[in-house]
Amino acid sequence: MYMHVLVLICRNYKGDVDMAEIDHFMPLLMQHEEEGLLCPVLSHGSVHFMWIKHSNLYLVATTNKNSNASLVYSFLYKLVEVFTEYFKELEEESIQDNFVVVYELLDELMDFGFPQTTDSKILQEYITQEGAKLEVAKSKVPTTVTNAVSWRSEGIKYKKNEVFIDVIESINVLVNANGSVMSSDIVGSIKLKTMLSGMPELRLGLNDRVLFALTGRDKGKTVTMEDVKFHQCVRLSRFESDRTISFIPPDGESELMSYRINTHVKPLIWIESIIEKFSHSRVEIMVKAKGQFKKQSVANNVEVRVPVPSDADSPKFKTSTGNAKYVPEKNMVVWTIKSFPGGKEFLMRAHFGLPSVENDELEGKPPITVKFEIPYFTVSGIQVRYMKIIEKSGYQALPWVRYITQSGDYQLRTNV
């Protein structure tokens, strides 16, 4: 049985795919789902459907060529981002209530199959949600659409010129049941909140190992960044020639760059666990957490998530700090520690009853996972050496830097 699909809105940019082809999408999707073979690209004859799901909507792109899939998916996710900026919630109702605006946006976001202006801040300058304003706004297209700096408007003014730089590193760690680190890496992101007047030129300096080698400097700690991705504002040719990160920033909040550091990471919060299961009787859990980072640093909002059997009941807890609670819908104990200083050790004990009748279902062995955030600290040792701000009016601007390390995919496997 195939469910009926309602096509809310569509736009045929090139006219090389029949509009009726979309009728094949939902039956194909359902068929693949039933067979357990669901994948992000579905094909019917020579037509390929690339799709994503957001709440109760499917956003589908069709092509009959060997298109660049990465570009198509980036565009679909950008659609979600732009529509969410406009309508707060992207769902069936918000599309139906804003047909005119959605069509206007679809025409500006892409032209003849090529992405165009995808920055919602710029789009909001000339596509508004009020029909009357729409006509007035359309008569004067902002210069941002026609000039080289499409991500920033002219004439921005602030009383106080500042830029806030957040260096956020997420640690991914997988530890096996014997306590050996199987895999680890650091995924970093440099985010900006720019409150600068005019059209400032910014230059960011990091302790980049390649840069130091190019310039013959070898002072202090340096980092080797891989998989570096930049916001479109960064001059790539300049970075590739001399590793200078120079750019005219977007106004407000943006992600300037992301990177990966492929290095052996010592788990910052080490977990030792003893989980004893007494058949038809009880489960005894003991978890020890140790902060393996500098004593002057503090991890905030730490959550240690310990899996328990799905048929466990009657929980009892004892903790040396923080509090533990049973979350039956997720079959886990969540031990929360608001403030966890470096070098400290804490203990949590849990006791659960088990029913006298054994649960026949074979359960997997989910790992213990840990969530945390450590401010004023980076594992890699990356540093913002300088942020130069140059603007033709010559104003003085203040750069502020904040470092944060947080858990990414942080798993420790157990024997039970």
Cα 370–chain centre separation: 18
pLDDT per residue as tens digits for the range 169-188: 999 999 998 889 999 999 99
Q: Domain 162-265+379-412 maps to which CATH number in 3.40.50.2300, 2.60.120.430, 2.30.29.30, 2.60.40.1170?
A: 2.60.40.1170
Q: How far apart are CA 102 and CA 116, in angstroms?
A: 15
Instruction: Reduce the DSSP state of residue 273 to 3 states and report it.
Output: strand
- pLDDT in the model for residue 363: 67
Average pLDDT over residues 86-103: 85
Closest CA to 209 of 267, 263, 265: 263
Q: Kindly indicate the confidence band of residue 145, based on its pLDDT and cuts at 50, 70 and 90.
A: low
Q: How far apart are CA 160 and CA 164, in angstroms?
A: 13
- Tell me which of 236 and 121 has the higher pLDDT: 236
Cβ atoms of residues 98 and 88 within 8 Å: no
Q: Kindly indicate the confidence band of residue 361, based on its pLDDT and cuts at 50, 70 and 90.
A: low
- Tell me which of 139 and 289 has the higher pLDDT: 289
Q: Residue 319 pLDDT > 70, yes or no?
A: yes
Q: Quickly name the fold that domain 269-375 has.
A: Immunoglobulin-like (2.60.40)
- pLDDT in the model for residue 66: 87
- pLDDT in the model for residue 147: 54
pLDDT per residue as tens digits for the range 298-311: 999 999 999 998 88
- Which part of the chain has CATH 3.30.450.60? 19-124
Average pLDDT over residues 137-153: 60
Q: What Rg do the C-alpha atoms of the chain give, in angstroms?
A: 26
Eight-state DSSP code of residue 147: S
Return the beta strands (E) in 113-248 as ranges.
114-115, 162-175, 181-195, 201-206, 226-230, 245-247
Closest CA to 21 of 4, 40, 46, 39: 46
Average pLDDT over residues 354-371: 76
Lowest average pLDDT, out of 144-148, 264-268, 288-292, 369-373, goes to 144-148
Q: Residue 6 pLDDT > 90, yes or no?
A: no
pLDDT per residue as tens digits for the range 199-249: 999 999 998 877 766 666 666 688 888 999 999 899 998 888 888 899 999
Q: How far apart are CA 404 and CA 409, in angstroms?
A: 16
**Mean pLDDT, the chain, integer:** 86
CATH code for 19-124?
3.30.450.60
- Which part of the chain has CATH 2.60.40.1170? 162-265+379-412, 269-375
- Any idea of the CA torsion for 241, 247, 253, 256, to the nearest 10 degrees? 0
Q: Which residues pair with 211 in a beta bridge?
A: none
The dihedrals phi and psi of 237, each to the nearest 5 degrees, come to -60, -35
Q: How far apart are CA 237 and CA 249, in angstroms?
A: 17
- pLDDT in the model for residue 296: 92
In the chain, pLDDT over 70 holds for what percent of residues?
A: 90
Distances 207 to 56, 133, 167, 210, 379 between C-alpha atoms, Å: 45, 48, 13, 9, 14
Most confident of 89-98, 250-259, 279-288: 250-259
- Tell me which of 172 and 140 has the higher pLDDT: 172
- pLDDT in the model for residue 13: 85
